[in-house]
């Protein structure tokens, strides 16, 4: 009887961690809040004399989905999408809201989860590349002064947080993610090289998003 108990106990002890290590996929959904900033441009004067010098999406609630595959017990590769609901403001002598818009992010990513696969709490870091897309919005105040196109701009994303696993298959995820998005460059002068010729130099402008959120995950 004692011998049978030892065999059963040994099997259970080995099966527990193996269940977590056998998990190869992780699907998650998050909700949160995103802080955003915009970009400036050369002043544009409307027909009524107002001067405008920038556009900026407002802060707003966001949600997202992710799918990851564990290449090893600690390294995860995957894809994530998130959408921030926002309005677009134009800044200047008379700031105003010019329309509703969404800011969508599409990124492939690589993440590193610290600790063992069967740990209840696992800190993580991640980084990814992809694109940010925003709506086309026409705006006017005493006359049409401009339009934002439905642009898809290159962007990167960087984040960190905690994964908490109450069970082997179900988890919670808390984190923060920064997404700088290239918008445009302002010419600053010329740069010349004796071999390749001369080029216009510029200061790149980035719109920044900082997302704080949490959600649920399923591992299988």
Q: What is the DSSP string of 139-173?
A: EESSSEEEEE---EEEEEEEEEEEEE-SSSSEEEE
pTM above 0.85, yes or no: no
Instruction: Judge whether 10 lies within some domain.
Output: no
Instruction: Judge whether 5 lies within some domain.
Output: no
Instruction: Judge whether 166 lies within some domain.
Output: yes
C-alpha dist (Å) from residue 214 to 103, 109, 201: 19, 18, 41
The pairing of strands 51-57 and 39-45 is antiparallel
- Domains of the chain: total: 1
At 182-212, the pLDDT tens digits run: 776 655 555 555 555 554 445 567 788 999 9
| Cα 20 to Cα 169: distance, rounded to the nearest angstrom | 8
Q: In degrees, to the nearest 5, what angle opens at C-alpha 193 toward C-alphas 188 and 197?
A: 85
Supply the pLDDT for residue 134: 79
8-state DSSP, 196: T
Instruction: Judge whether 9 lies within some domain.
Output: no
Instruction: Judge whether 16 lies within some domain.
Output: no
C-alpha dist (Å) from residue 124 to 99, 116, 142, 146: 37, 12, 51, 42
Average pLDDT, stretch 105-134? 94
Supply the pLDDT for residue 90: 77
Name the most confidently modeled range: 38-52, 152-166, 173-187.
152-166
CATH number at residue 182: 2.40.160.20
| Cα 90 to Cα 50: distance, rounded to the nearest angstrom | 11
Instruction: Judge whether 38 lies within some domain.
Output: yes
Instruction: Judge whether 4 lies within some domain.
Output: no
Q: Residue 94: what are its φ and ψ, rounded to 5°?
A: -140, 80
- Chain position carrying tokens 């509703």: 100
Average pLDDT, stretch 138-165? 72
Taking the alpha carbons at both ends of the chain, their separation in whole angstroms is 35
Q: Which residues of 121-153 are buried (b: 16+ CB within 10 A; e: fewer)?
A: ebebebebebebbbbebebebeeebeebeeeee
Instruction: Judge whether 14 lies within some domain.
Output: no
8-state DSSP, 38: -
Range of 182's domain? Answer: 22-219
79: which strand partners?
Answer: 67, 108
């Amino acid at each position: 009887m004692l011998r049978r108990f030892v065999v059963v106990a040994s099997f259970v002890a080995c099966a527990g961690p193996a269940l977590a290590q056998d998990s190869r996929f992780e699907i998650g959904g998050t909700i949160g809040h995103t802080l955003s900033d915009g970009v400036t441009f050369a002043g544009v004067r409307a027909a009524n004399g107002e001067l405008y010098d920038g556009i900026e999406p407002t802060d707003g609630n966001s949600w997202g989905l992710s799918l990851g595959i564990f290449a090893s017990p600690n390294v995860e590769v995957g894809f994530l999408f998130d959408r921030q609901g926002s309005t677009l403001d134009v800044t200047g002598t008379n700031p105003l809201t010019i329309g509703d818009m969404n800011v969508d992010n599409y990124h492939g990513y690589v993440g590193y989860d610290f600790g063992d696969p069967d740990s209840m709490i696992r800190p993580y870091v991640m980084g990814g590349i992809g694109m940010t897309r925003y709506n086309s919005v026409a705006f006017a105040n005493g006359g049409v002064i401009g339009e934002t196109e439905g642009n898809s701009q290159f962007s990167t994303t960087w984040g960190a947080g905690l994964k908490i696993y109450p069970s082997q298959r179900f988890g919670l995820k808390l984190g923060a993610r920064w997404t700088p998005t290239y918008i445009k460059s302002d010419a600053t002068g010329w740069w010349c090289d004796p071999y390749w010729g001369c080029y216009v130099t510029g200061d790149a402008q980035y719109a920044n998003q900082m997302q704080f959120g949490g959600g649920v995950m399923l591992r299988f």
